[in-house]
């Protein structure tokens, strides 16, 4: 117990010594007379000028950042509009291609139907050939009459 008290008193003594030393250092830093304050006036004015310069720079930086953000927002809006236009164009082109494919399929189906119809009536084809030959002969005869 006695040892604890001795340690406690030693710790308090050290703390007081450190505190007293710190207050002495602070007194050394603080000017003691009016003449020292006059010497610090140019330093204070310089610090004030630096603070004003920093404020001015901060305002400039904020203005540049706002301008950059506005430009980025405008670029984003333009890009979005462009992408929507491209998407609409692609949809339109795909619809056109599908319409062409559908039309070609319809034509192919029609041609197949005609082919099937012609295969079912071979006599009609022969008749057409015969009629066609007669027509040619008749035309040839008419040409001779002129």
Q: Could you tell me if residue 109 is inside a domain?
A: yes
Q: Could you tell me if residue 52 is inside a domain?
A: no
The number of domains in the chain is 1
Q: Could you tell me if residue 110 is inside a domain?
A: yes
Tokens of 90: 């692609």
Question: In tens digits, what is the pLDDT along the chain, a chain of 146 residues?
Answer: 556 666 666 767 766 666 665 554 444 445 555 557 778 888 899 999 999 999 999 999 999 999 999 999 999 999 999 999 999 999 999 999 999 999 999 999 999 999 988 888 766 556 666 666 666 666 665 555 54
Query: In 32-132, which ranges are E strands?
Result: none
Distance CA 57, CA 9 (A): 54
Would the pTM of this model clear 0.75, i.e. be above it?
no
Domain of 92, in residue numbers: 84-120
């Amino acid at each position: 117990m006695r040892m604890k008290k001795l340690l406690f008193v030693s710790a308090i003594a050290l703390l007081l010594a450190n505190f007293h030393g710190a207050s002495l250092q602070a007194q050394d830093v603080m000017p003691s007379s009016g003449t020292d304050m006059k010497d610090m006036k140019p330093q204070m004015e310089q610090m004030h000028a630096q603070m004003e310069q920093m404020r001015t720079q901060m305002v400039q930086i904020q203005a540049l950042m706002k301008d950059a953000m506005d430009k980025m927002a405008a670029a984003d809006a333009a890009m979005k509009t462009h992408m929507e236009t491209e998407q609409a164009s692609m949809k339109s082109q795909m619809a056109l291609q599908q319409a062409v494919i559908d039309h070609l399929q319809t034509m192919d189906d029609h041609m197949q139907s005609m082919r099937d119809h012609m295969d079912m009536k071979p006599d009609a084809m022969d008749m057409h050939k015969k009629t066609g030959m007669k027509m040619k002969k008749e035309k040839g005869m008419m040409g001779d009459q002129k």
